[in-house]
Amino acid sequence: MSKLVMIRKSLLAVAVLSLTGVAAQAADVAKPAAVAAAASAVNGVKLATLCATCGVVTEVKSEKRKGKASGMGAVGGAVVGGVVGNKMGDGSTVGTVGGAAVGGLLGNEIEKRTKSHTVWVTTATMKDGTVRKFEAGADPGWKAGAVIEVGADGKLTKR
């Protein structure tokens, strides 16, 4: 290829990239206006009409969480793992220690899963347009579109 052809292709590539960048910038400028218009109302509720600490529920779902381990599962697992490791390793110290380590880790994980619990996560769009999530130990009883208020203690109440 001649140098002139290569220069023309390079200039064409630069022009295309420049125009693409300008189009992307124009799209980015339009996005905040669209987001602001969409955020002005959530589920038919105008955010401007809410109190300063109020929001509109957009979703309520339950999630399963692992419990906290007290250490008893790890201790029990280490003892059982040590005994099994000792037997499988023909009485070797390496087998006993390895079995105790693996048993401790497994026992700890089993304890966490045994103590698992369900939490309800409420997602709400607040008056200022921010999205916040709140957790509760029981079903709060509201659905998407409900107006809630966040108390000073962080607890939610229906408005």
pLDDT in tens, 40-90: 777 778 888 888 899 999 999 998 887 777 888 778 777 887 788 778 878
Kindly state the percentage of the chain with pLDDT values over 90.
16
CA-CA distance, 100 to 111, in Å (whole number)?
16
Q: 121 pLDDT exceeds 90? A: yes
Gap between the Cα atoms of 36 and 56, Å rounded: 16
Cβ atoms 138, 120 nearer than 8 A: yes
Which token pair is 111?
């304890």
What pLDDT, on a 0 to 100 scale, did the predictor assign at position 3? 57
Contact 157, 147 (CB under 8 A): no
pTM of the model: 0.51
List 42's β-bridge partners, or say none.
45
Please tell me the distance from the alpha carbon of residue 46 to that of residue 44, in angstroms, as a whole number. 6
138, 105, 133, 132: which is closest to 119 by C-alpha?
138
The whole-number pLDDT of residue 67 equals 73
